[in-house]
Each structure stands twice: as C-alpha cells, then as structure tokens.
C-alpha cells in the first residue's frame, strides 16, 4: 500500500476513531515478516477488540481488497510462528475509504470487504457494528478462558512485532518511515550518541529553555529498550539537552526523498527493534 505523510495522518485518525467506536487497541504501521518471500509485508492497521481481530487498509483502491486478504494470511502465519494458532474466522479484513473523493466504482457496487466513505462517517458506538458477525462459532460456544488467553497473547505479539519508525510532530501529525540519524553540532551529537534503535525504543522531546543569548535547548527523554515489560518506568527515563536546531534525518515510507525535521517540531519518536 502507498502511504505518504498526509496519508499517515489519515491512518492514525482512522485508528483513533476505531478505538473510540469499538474499543480495544489499534496497532498501526506493522511490518510483518513474510516467510515465503523473505521480505516484510506492510500492514496499515490491526484492530484487536474483545473476541475480534481485524486487519485494515485505509488507502482506498478497490484492488487493495486482494492485497489485504494476502496481508491477513501473512499475519496469521506470523502469529502461528509465534505460538498463537487462531480459530477459524477470528481474523477478518476490511478496506476503509476515509477520503470522500475516493470512489473508483459506483456506490452499491463495493465488495463486502470495503467500507465506503458514507458508511464510515455514519458509524456510531450505538449503531450496529460494521464488523458484526466476524466470530460466529469461532470458539465453539464461546469459551471465555480460551478467548482471554488468545487476547493476551495477541496483545503481546502485536506490541512487539516489527513496525515502521514513527515521528509524532506538533499539531498531531505523524510520519511513518525509517529513522536514519541526527544532524547538528558535534557536542549535541555526542549527547545523543546513546539513542540508537538497539538501545532505545522511544524518545520524547519536551520544553525549550534558553541557553545564553545564542540559542535555546530542548530536553530529550529516552527509555531503554526492554521486551520484558510494558514500558520503562519513570525512574528509567534518561535525559539529555541539545540545541533546538538539531535535526532528525528520516526516510518516509514509500518515498525516495530523505527528509530532515527540526527536533523542536517533534514531540515523540518510536523506533522499531
């Protein structure tokens, strides 16, 4: 699927709305290993709700239905390799069209997997879910213990699965892609030397303070990578201060151009393992 910077914002907007409508957790920007090709398959979004799991593509091309089915199959194989064999019917796929200008075929002619713009905008928590009927008979009468066990395992696997690196910019804007390096003064790069994907999973950029009359500085908090817990505690976060002119060099997903972002415009960064 083609995802540019503006589409990344729409993708996170869709994920946020799905969580509000149906609860659960949305996992965005997954890069699932495909054992058959030796490559990683890009998956826009996986919504995990109680007793249901859905893989979603929000790009808008009807041809993406087949691609999304392929993604679902690859994801199912990946989950099985990591110890979770899903009941038949547990995993479903949908293509959401959040863009009102995206309509390549006549209304009423969409495949059943496609959620067109008008249906998407009309969804409310109290209305009949557009994903109803996913799980009929999947648990053979609905064994609560089996369902809860699968949910726990899926949450852990999806939270530790490979993802695109992520920049969150001021104004609730997002960029998915690959973090490359920092650019700046030698002393700032020295201060940031420990922020590597092998050691750090997340960093947060906080308030600006003045340093003399020449420039201002930013407070950068970063947490050590640890797969054994949900995340770093407050005492584990480390801090460095660098010039606000320091830049993040980033390769956006599906773009041939490398971009530089002033660290002062970034609120947080997540790095895949």
The CA distance from 150 to 84, in Å, is: 7
* The pLDDT of residue 150: 82
**Local confidence band at 93 (pLDDT 50, 70, 90 cut-offs):** confident
- pLDDT tens digits for 233-249? 555 889 999 998 999 99
Q: Is 113 exposed, middle or buried (0-12, 13-18, 19+ CB in 10 A)?
A: middle
Distance of CA 14 to the CA centre of its chain: 11
User: What are the CA-CA distances from residue 187 to residues 191, 219, 241 (Å)?
Assistant: 6, 15, 10
* The pLDDT of residue 138: 40
Residue 53: count of CB within 10 angstroms of its CB: 25
Give the side-chain half-sphere CA count within 13 A for 70.
Answer: 14
- pLDDT tens digits for 172-196? 899 999 999 999 999 999 999 999 8
- pLDDT tens digits for 184-227? 999 999 999 999 888 898 999 987 766 554 568 889 999 888 75
Domains of the chain plus CATH, in order, are 5-160 (3.40.1350), 165-270 (no CATH)
The CA distance from 93 to 134, in Å, is: 10
| Whole-number CA gyration radius for the chain | 21
Tokens 């249906």 locate to: 119
- pLDDT tens digits for 137-179? 443 445 666 677 788 888 889 988 999 999 999 998 999 999 9
State both tokens at 113: 């997997």
Tokens 């002393």 locate to: 187
The CA distance from 43 to 73, in Å, is: 11
Nearest to 238 by CA among 199, 180, 181, 185: 199
State both tokens at 54: 């859905």
**Local confidence band at 92 (pLDDT 50, 70, 90 cut-offs):** confident
* The pLDDT of residue 62: 54
- pLDDT tens digits for 16-34? 988 888 888 999 999 999 8
* The pLDDT of residue 4: 34
The CA distance from 57 to 43, in Å, is: 7
| pTM of the full structure | 0.79
- Write the DSSP string, 98-163: --TT--SS-TT-S-TTEE-HHHHHH--TTSPPTTTTTTTTTTTTT-HHHHHHHHHHHHHHHHHS-B
**Local confidence band at 250 (pLDDT 50, 70, 90 cut-offs):** very high
* The pLDDT of residue 193: 93
**Local confidence band at 52 (pLDDT 50, 70, 90 cut-offs):** low
Nearest to 89 by CA among 130, 151, 13, 140: 140
Average confidence score pLDDT of the chain: 80
């Amino acid at each position: 699927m083609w995802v540019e910077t503006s589409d990344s914002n729409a993708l996170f907007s869709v994920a946020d709305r799905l969580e509000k409508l149906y609860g659960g957790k949305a996992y965005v920007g997954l890069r699932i290993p495909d054992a058959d090709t030796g490559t990683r398959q890009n998956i826009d979004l996986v919504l995990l709700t109680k007793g249901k799991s859905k893989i979603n593509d929000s790009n808008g091309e009807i041809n993406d239905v087949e691609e999304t089915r392929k993604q679902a199959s690859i994801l199912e194989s990946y989950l099985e390799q990591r110890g979770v064999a899903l009941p038949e019917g547990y995993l479903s796929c949908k293509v959401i069209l959040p863009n009102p200008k995206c309509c390549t075929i006549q209304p009423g002619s969409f495949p059943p997997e496609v959620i067109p713009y008008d249906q998407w905008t009309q969804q409310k928590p109290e209305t009949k879910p557009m994903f109803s009927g996913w799980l009929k008979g999947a648990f053979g009468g609905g064994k609560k213990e089996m369902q809860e066990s699968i949910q726990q395992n899926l949450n852990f696997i999806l939270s530790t699965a490979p993802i695109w690196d992520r920049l969150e910019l001021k104004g609730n804007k997002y960029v998915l892609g690959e973090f490359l390096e920092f650019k700046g003064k030698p002393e700032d790069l020295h201060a940031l030397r420990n922020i590597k994907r092998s050691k750090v999973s997340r960093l947060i950029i906080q308030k600006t303070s003045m340093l003399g009359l020449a420039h201002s500085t930013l407070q950068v908090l970063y947490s050590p990578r640890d797969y054994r817990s949900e995340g770093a505690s407050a005492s584990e976060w480390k801090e460095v201060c660098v010039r606000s002119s320091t830049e993040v060099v980033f390769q956006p997903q599906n773009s041939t151009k490398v971009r530089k972002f002033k660290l002062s415009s970034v609120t947080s960064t997540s790095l895949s393992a």
